[in-house]
Amino acid sequence: MSLIASGGAYADKAADTLRIAFTKELENVDSYFNSSREGVVMQRAVWDGLIYLDPITNEYKGNLATSWAWVDDKTLELKLREGVTFHNGDAFTADDVVATVNFVAKEENGAKTQRNVNWMESAEKVDDFTVRIRTKDVFPAAIEFLAGPVSIYPAKYYAEVGPSGMGLKPVGTGPYKVVEVVPGQHFVLERNENYHDSPKGQPAIAKVDIRTIPDVNTQLAELFSGTLDMIWQVPADQAEKMAAMADRFTVTNELTMRVGYLDMDAAGRSKMDPNPFTDVKVRQAINHAIDRKALVDNLLKGKSKVVSTACYPSQFGCVQDVTSYDYDPEKAKALLAEAGYPDGFSTEFYAYRDRDYAEAIASYLNAVGIKTDFRMLEYSALRELNMKGEAPLSFQTWGSYSINDASAMVSQFFKHGSLDSAQDDQVLEWLNVADSSTDPDKRVEYYGKALKRIADEAFWAPMFSYNTNYVSTKEVEYTPTADEVLRFTTMTWN
C-alpha cells in the first residue's frame, strides 16, 4: 500500500497535477449562482475581485483595482489595473466592471446570495480604467464585500452565454482557467500563464483536478491508493487516524468562520399545524436541550468553540454579550410543558452535511420529547426548501463568504429575505441602522441590539464554530488560512 500511495502521488507530481476532492456537488460554477464553500474555492481560483483581503495580515490590497476612494457616502471610485486579460483573450476594462455590477445588482437576475450584491445600486464608467460604484444606502462594509464575493466577469462573453454558459465554460482573469467541466462531478483547472501581478500570487502547480466524491471514506481510500493528493473537511476522528501516519500524510487543523446552528420556523411559514416553533418557550427549550460543549469536545474537536451568537465572534459587530443557553434537559422539558407540549411533539428535521452532528442533535431533541423525522438533503435542495419556508427545523451552517463583518451573517438571515425564518420587524429596524451607519460605535451598538433580541427570542439555536481538517500526501506543501478558502496559488510540491 505504501508503494502504491507513493508511486501514484509522485506520478502526478511529475505531471504537475494536483488531485483533490469536493464532498458536496457544486450546483453551478458561476460564482453568483451558487452559495456553497466549494463555489467560493472555485471563485477565488478562476475569477478576481477588484480588491483583495490578505488572509494573514487582514490588509486590503489592489487586485483588479489599483486604488479606490469614496467620492461621497454612496459613491466609490476605483482606478483599474491596465494590461489584464481574461482567459478567452478579452482585454479587461471598465466596461467589464460596469456590466458585472449592473447585472448582479438587479434582484430579478437571480444571484443566489442577494446579500453579497444587493447593496450596490449601479456602476458607471468614468473612462476605460476608472469606474464608480454607487450603493443603494450608506454601506460601510463595501470594501469587505468587494474583496470577497464580488467577481468581475467579461462583459461581452457573459452577455452572450449568461449564467448557464458561464457555469459550463467559465471565463475569468484569475490564476487558474477552467479547461473541463462535468457539471457537479469533475473540474479541471489549468495555470493561467498570463496571470497579472496579483496579490493572490502566481500559481506554482500547473493543473488542479477536482472530483466530487461525497463519501469521505472513499476519499480516504483514494488518498491511500494514490489517486488523490489532498482532501479537506475531514471529520475529526478520521483526521486523528491519518495524523498517526505522519510519515506518509500531513494533517493540518485550522479554525474557520463557519458557524453551525439550528434554524427554526419562528415566523410560522411552514405547513405545521399547530406550529410549536412560533412559541418562544419551545425555541428556548430547544436551545437548552442541546449539549453544545459535548458536541465540540467529542465530534468537532480541533479549534472549534461553542457559539451563542448569530454571527462569528471575530466579525466586526458580533457582540458577545447575549443570552446563552446552558445544557439543561429538565428545563427544556419544563419549557415545553409550559408551552402546551408536556409530551413533546413531532417534527421534520433537515440537514445537508455532517450527518453525525445532525444525528447527535436529533438525539438530544428526542431525549426531551421532540421526536424528529430526520432527512438528509443536498445543499441546494435544502436551501430551496428554506427559501420557500417549508423546513420547520433544520441544521444549517454559514461561512459568511469569509467576510469578517457581522452584516455578512446576521444581516444575511434576519432582514426579511426568503431565508429569514423569524421575520422580526424590530430586528430588521436595528440591522438597517447597523448596516448603513458610518459610525463604527453605532454599528456595534445596533448589531448588539439585534443580536441580543435574536438570542432572547431564541430565533436560532447557534451551536459551534467549525474547524477544517486538511489531509494531504507528503508531496504537497500547503498552509491553510482561517477563512476556509483553499488557495491553489499557495500550494507547492515538496
Radius of gyration of the chain (CA): 23
Q: How many CA atoms lie within 13 A of 410 on its CB side?
A: 38
Q: Which residues touch 244 (CB under 8 Å, ≥6 apart)? A: none
Which among 472, 421, 459, 486 is positioned nearest to 13, based on CA atoms? 472
The HSE-up count of residue 157 (CA atoms within 13 Å, CB side) is 23
Residue reference for cell 449562482: 33
Q: Any idea what DSSP says for residue 90?
A: P
Confidence of residue 2 (pLDDT cuts 50, 70, 90): very low
For residue 17, what pLDDT is reported?
Answer: 97
Q: Which three cell numbers stand for residue 379?
A: 445543499
- Mean pLDDT across the stretch 319-343? 98
The answer to whether residue 6 scores a pLDDT higher than 60 is: no
pLDDT digits (tens, 9 = 90+) for 375-427: 999 998 999 999 999 999 999 999 999 999 999 999 999 999 999 999 999 99
Distance CA 209, CA 492 (A): 15
Closest CA to 444 of 319, 344, 322: 319
The residue assigned the cell 444571484 is 111
Helix or strand holding residue 207 (H, E): strand 207-212
Average pLDDT over residues 195-206: 97
Partner residues linked to 371 by β-bridges:
346
Cell of 80: 483599474
| Per-residue pLDDT, 8 | 42
pLDDT (0 to 100) of residue 41: 97
Dist. CA 311–CA 60, nearest whole Å? 22
Q: How far is it, in rounded angstroms, from Cα 265 to Cα 391?
A: 7
Give the Å distances, CA to CA, from 18 to 185, 188, 204, 222, 387.
Answer: 16, 10, 11, 13, 37
Phi and psi dihedrals of 60, rounded to 5?
A: -80, 130
Angle between helices 236-243 and 216-225 (to 10 degrees): 20
Query: Is pLDDT above 70 for 57?
Result: yes
Decide if 282 contacts 341 (C-beta within 8 A). yes
For 258-299, the pLDDT digits (tens) are 999 999 999 999 989 999 999 999 999 999 999 999 999 999
The H or E element that residue 41 is part of is helix 37-46
Q: Which of 106, 135, 102, 104 is nearest to 30 (CA)?
A: 104
**pLDDT tops 60 at residue 7:** no
Q: Is 21 within 8 Å of 5 (Cβ atoms)?
A: no
d(CA 446, CA 199): 34
The average pLDDT across 60-73 equals: 97
SS (H, E, C) 129-187: CEEEEEECCCCCCHHHHHCCCCCCCCHHHHHHHHHHHHHHCCCCCCCEEEEEEECCCEE
Calculate mean pLDDT across residues 347-351. 98
DSSP for 62-114, written as a single string: ESSEEEEEEEETTEEEEEEPSS-B-TTSPBP-HHHHHHHHHHHTSGGG--S-G
Q: Could you count the other beta carbons within 10 Å of the beta carbon of residue 119? A: 22
| Cβ proximity of 433 and 439 under 8 Å | no
- How sure is the predictor about 12, in pLDDT bands with cuts at 50, 70 and 90? confident
- 21: nearest Cα among 258, 176, 208: 208
Percent of the chain residues past pLDDT 70, beyond the cut: 98
Whole-prediction pTM = 0.87
Least confident range from 94-98, 156-160, 379-383: namely 379-383
**Confidence check: pLDDT of 10 > 70:** no
Q: Residue 336 and residue 451: Cα distance in Å, rounded?
A: 24
Judged against a pLDDT cut of 90, whether residue 4 lies above it is answered with: no
> CA 49, CA 47: separation in Å to the nearest integer?
7
- Please give the single-letter amino acid code of residue 219: Q
Of the candidates 19, 5, 125, the residue with the CA atom closest to the CA atom of residue 77:
125
pLDDT band at 5 (very low <50, low <70, confident <90, very high): very low
- The helix or strand, by DSSP H or E, that contains position 427, with its residue range, turns out to be helix 425-436
CB atoms within 10 A of CB 309: 26
Preceding peptide of 170 cis, ω within 30°: no
Mean pLDDT of the chain: 95
DSSP letter (8 states) at residue 306: B
Is the pLDDT score of 328 beyond 50?
A: yes
